[in-house]
């Protein structure tokens, strides 16, 4: 019986074609989230978040943060169904 020794480096693609495939991959969750963020019911929560961010950013010292607005936007975006669009 003859054994052939072949070394394959860990984590590195064997050729450029495999490397290109990895670069083209897109996370489907990001795609759905982007579409949902543009949905009508998410637009007003995003506007409230942006208003809060500009208001807080314009002050040098403030106790206000935009946590509530951020959570409202994330909740609306993450509970969107792609079929609702």
Residues 20-30: tens digit of each pLDDT = 555 678 888 88
Q: How confident is the model at residue 14 (pLDDT cuts 50, 70, 90)?
A: low
pLDDT of residue 62: 85
Taking only the tens place, the pLDDT of each residue in 35-58 is 888 888 899 999 999 999 999 999
| Alpha helix positions (H), the chain | 16-24, 28-37, 40-57, 67-78
Cα separations in angstroms, 76 against 23, 29, 39, 49, 83:
30, 15, 10, 12, 15
Residues 37, 38, 39, CA angle at the centre, nearest 5°? 95
Domains and CATH numbers, the chain: 27-57+65-84 (1.10.287.20)
CB burial string 18-51: b at 16+ within 10 A, e below: eeeeeeeeeeeeeeebeebbeeeebeebbebbee
pLDDT tops 60 at residue 11: yes
């Amino acid at each position: 019986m003859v054994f052939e020794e072949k070394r394959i480096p860990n984590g590195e693609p064997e050729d450029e074609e495999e490397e290109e495939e990895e670069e083209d991959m897109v996370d489907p969750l990001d795609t759905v989230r982007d579409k949902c963020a543009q949905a009508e019911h998410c637009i007003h929560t995003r506007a409230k978040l942006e208003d809060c961010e500009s208001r807080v950013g314009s002050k040098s010292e403030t106790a206000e943060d935009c946590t509530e607005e951020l959570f409202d936007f994330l909740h609306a975006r993450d509970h969107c169904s792609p079929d609702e669009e």
